[in-house]
Amino acid sequence: MNYATIKYNDISNGPGVRVSLYVSGCRNHCKNCFNPETWNFEYGEPFTKEVEDKIIEAMKPAHIKGFTLLGGDPFEPENAKALVPFMKRLRKIYPQKSFWCFTGYDYERDLLTGKQGDPDDVMAILKTLDVLVDGKFVESLKDLNLRFKGSTNQRTILVQQSLKTDEVVLWDNTTFI
């Protein structure tokens, strides 16, 4: 897997100051995507153990509130396979920090049904996440007033609560996760 960039002091992709990993590779190709260069799976640099270690180190300071995974799309099968061990490792080291992920895929239709990638890989990543922003960016539904998403069709899902209740539980936009 390749990654496009890492932001070590990101305040745009979840609450608080975060470390954000932008993976390369996306088949959704949303019109007017803010990161079209990340559609290419070959874009960027290889995601190595050294890169993982650098992210883990960057997460140490108390002012870093969490980690965000986006791209490209983390749930592309090639990316998910590479991300599973890293996400498990990161979650084990930082159980108290919040983990967010952005995907163009739909939580129920694509991720939970196994239509998108290996169901075991998908579930392994979901189990590490606190919040998932799902759905393709739709230009005609763009709303600049939305918090942490670009179009009104996208949802901000509390993953652990949703997995536990087997119903989608949405983030209320006031809780700091």
Distance of alpha carbon 76 from alpha carbon 148, whole angstroms: 21
Question: Helices 77-93 & 49-58, crossing angle to 10 degrees?
Answer: 40
Question: Per-residue pLDDT tens for 23-80?
Answer: 999 998 888 888 889 999 999 999 999 999 999 999 999 999 999 999 999 999 999 9
Nearest to 33 by CA among 67, 82, 73, 79: 73
Give the three-state DSSP class for 100: strand
Name the token pair of 111. Answer: 């991720």
- Asked whether the predicted pLDDT for residue 174 surpasses 80, the reply is no
Q: Which domains does the chain have, with CATH numbers?
A: 2-165 (3.20.20.70)
Question: Per-residue pLDDT tens for 144-155?
Answer: 888 888 887 899
C-beta neighbour count of 61 within 10 angstroms: 12
Nearest to 37 by CA among 48, 21, 23: 23
- Owner of token pair 């670009």: 150
Question: Is-contact 4 44, C-beta < 8 A?
Answer: yes
Query: Model's pTM, two decimal places?
Result: 0.93
Which residue intervals of the chain are DSSP H helices?
Answer: 49-58, 77-93, 119-126, 159-165
Please, what is the average pLDDT of the chain? 93
Cβ neighbours of residue 170 closer than 8 Å, sequence gap 6 or more: 155, 156, 157, 158
